[in-house]
Structure 1
């Protein structure tokens, strides 16, 4: 069973492509390769929400004190209202959003202590994920995904450089892979909360943004190369330096924001 909210765009797509002969669902023709949705259009609901909120924060559509209406988000993203509510509830546990009335939330302002604590947790879990990753067998999908991410980093550096949105999506994919592939279920719970810290960071401080993003991508490449070499110590050392630099930049941007 799926909701009408999810079913409606699917039926519309089938009708637009002349796949449905009538409203009862009769097939009009055989399916062609061009009829399939692009992978970017078949993300899990949670991924759709995470990506949407990332864009809204970075593009300054969301800021502390602003209100969020569950119904408007669900309609805008064409996903079930319940999925939006569950996502906001999960993020409210970390203090990002607060429910003010039925189906309406406010974006909260967070302090430096909270961010510092979240980043300490991230450092601990990601460093501990390295050894299990390196021990994965060669046929594990992790290695193909890591190789693909490496190529995406190189492509971005050669084309758009440190442009924020493409970089942040790659950053999320890379750090998310470190946690999911190592089957670190505890860190996966915190993953969205940690990423939100950095979304707000990009909204607050975009000075030297492209240069910092390009440095971060090259740091990612160093980490990936060490993992491919199955060098645990080098991987951890590169990752530790990368996470510390990211943490320092974030906390510095928070301090600058407070002084304004």
Structure 2
């Protein structure tokens, strides 16, 4: 029996989720491998296997465990667990950090179980996060549990730019239509000040722009309160906000320009000048598109040397 019942219960539920999502294969790998996969001790993992055998989910034959019946949600344990939203946010931040810090590059392959261990989240959190990008052609599931990051070409970038422009201009119009006492106006003022602070120290702090950029575009898109906008922003963020940053030859200059363009958009928004705000946003989006195209061109030249 595990000395930490909460940990044991959490691992049981994670194990059941993995079975339901067909992440695990049977017979199960050795105990030490399972314990490593779920980031628990062998004592805890053994207690989980014993419990699932007692409830008829698993069947032990000699030293191996087989699936005797498919578990259901009713097989899960009741207990106090970390909120799923917390895990989702944690892994999203972790995954973007891997890209932004150049630890995950175009063409790289990665394992979802290893990612879940490194990020210390449920493997289901990792898989469902990655599946969100699969149908966009951003990543490729080349083998069960194995993924690869796709290299984006200029044609893909052009099409995404068209989609992004329509999305953000529509969202900006919704933002401008909000009541004067809406909390988003306060957020816009705070965001403008953060941009001005960064602009004053851009030579030393230009790498801090990544978070600011995400907050800027997320604020605009959040005004519409449309879940499809939020989902689309995930794709846009990965490609425009991170992908072109894999070429950092002009990162300081690019971020300096972007900060100035953000300030122009936010200033026009706070002046309640919709026409001026939309024009400033269009200019910024076009700059982002050109930056990505130039980065892709440079990457192709390096590759073809």
Give the TM-score band, short-chain normalised. Answer: 0.7 to 0.9
Change (3 A) 1:254 1:154: same
Tell me, yes or no, if structure 1 residue 181 matches structure 2 residue 223: yes
Deviation at 1:162, TM superposition (A): 6.9
Name the SS of the counterpart of 1:100 in structure 2: strand
2:164 matched residue in structure 1 = 122
Name the SS of the counterpart of 1:148 in structure 2: helix
Gaps of 5+ in 2: 1-5, 15-37, 40-78
Distance 2:204 2:286 in 1: 19
Equivalent position to 1:4, from 10, 15, 23: 10
Tell me, yes or no, if structure 1 residue 136 matches structure 2 residue 178: yes
4+ residue stretches of structure 1 with deviation over 3 A? 5-9, 42-47, 159-165
Q: Report if aligned partners of 2:157, 2:289 keep a CA contact under 8 Å in 1.
A: no
Deviation at 1:161, TM superposition (A): 4.4
Distance 2:192 2:87 in 1: 26
Gaps of 5+ in 1: 10-24, 26-41
Name the SS of the counterpart of 1:79 in structure 2: coil
Deviation at 1:54, TM superposition (A): 2.2
2:112 matched residue in structure 1 = 70
Residue correspondence of structure 1 range 56-205 to structure 2 within 5 A: 56-161=98-203, 163=205, 165-198=207-240, 199-203=242-246, 205=247
Larger RCO: 1 or 2 (CA < 8 Å, sep 6+) = 1
- RMSD of Structure 2 on Structure 1 (CA): 2.8
Name the SS of the counterpart of 2:102 in structure 1: coil
Deviation at 1:163, TM superposition (A): 4.0
Equivalent position to 1:223, from 261, 265, 290: 265
Change (3 A) 1:233 1:189: same
Taking structure 2 as the reference length, the TM-score comes to 0.68
